[in-house]
C-alpha cells in the first residue's frame, strides 16, 4: 500500500480534543475501512513547533514544505513515516493544524 499527505484544521482549543474531532470527521467522510490516506488512519498526535515565530500563513507554508520537500530539522524526519503520529501545530487564530503522511 502507498501513502498520501494530509493537512487538516480543527478549531478545538485542546490538542487532544481537536485531534479526536479531526479523526472523527475524516472517518465520517472517508469511512472506517482503513487506508484512506487521511488523518482517520492516525491514533496519536505529536505537537511540533516551527523553527522561529511565524504567522499562521507562514506555518501553513512551513507544513507544506515539510510534506513536499522533507524537514530541514532531522528531529522532524518522523513526520515522513505513514505509521507515525499525526503532527500538530498550534494556530494563533485558535485551533490546530494537523499534518503528515497516512496509509492509502
The answer, yes or no, to whether residue 94 has pLDDT greater than 80, is yes
Average pLDDT over residues 69-97: 97
pLDDT at 90: 99
Which range of residues forms the domain containing residue 54? Answer: 3-103
pLDDT at 21: 99
The beta strands (E) that lie in the chain are given as: 3-10, 45-47, 86-90, 96-103
pLDDT at 32: 86
pLDDT at 33: 86
Q: Name the percent of the chain lying above pLDDT 70.
A: 99
Q: Which residue carries 470527521 as its cell? A: 25
Which element (helix H / strand E) includes 93?
none
Tally of domains within the chain: 1
Interatomic CA distance for residues 88 and 92, integer angstroms: 13
At residue 99, the 3 state secondary structure works out as: strand
pLDDT in tens, 21-56: 999 999 999 998 899 999 999 999 999 999 999 999
- Give CA 2 to chain center in angstroms: 17
Interatomic CA distance for residues 61 and 39, integer angstroms: 19
Amino acid at each position: 500500500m502507498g501513502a498520501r499527505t494530509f493537512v487538516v484544521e480543527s478549531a478545538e482549543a485542546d490538542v487532544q480534543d481537536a485531534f479526536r474531532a479531526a479523526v472523527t470527521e475524516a472517518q465520517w467522510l472517508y469511512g472506517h475501512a482503513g487506508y484512506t490516506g487521511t488523518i482517520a488512519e492516525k491514533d496519536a498526535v505529536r505537537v511540533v513547533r516551527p523553527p522561529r515565530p511565524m504567522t499562521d500563513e507562514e506555518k501553513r507554508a512551513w507544513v507544506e514544505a515539510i510534506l513536499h520537500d522533507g524537514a530541514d530539522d532531522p528531529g522532524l524526519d518522523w513526520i515522513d513515516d505513514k505509521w507515525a503520529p499525526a503532527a500538530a501545530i498550534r494556530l494563533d487564530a485558535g485551533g490546530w493544524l494537523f499534518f503528515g503522511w497516512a496509509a492509502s
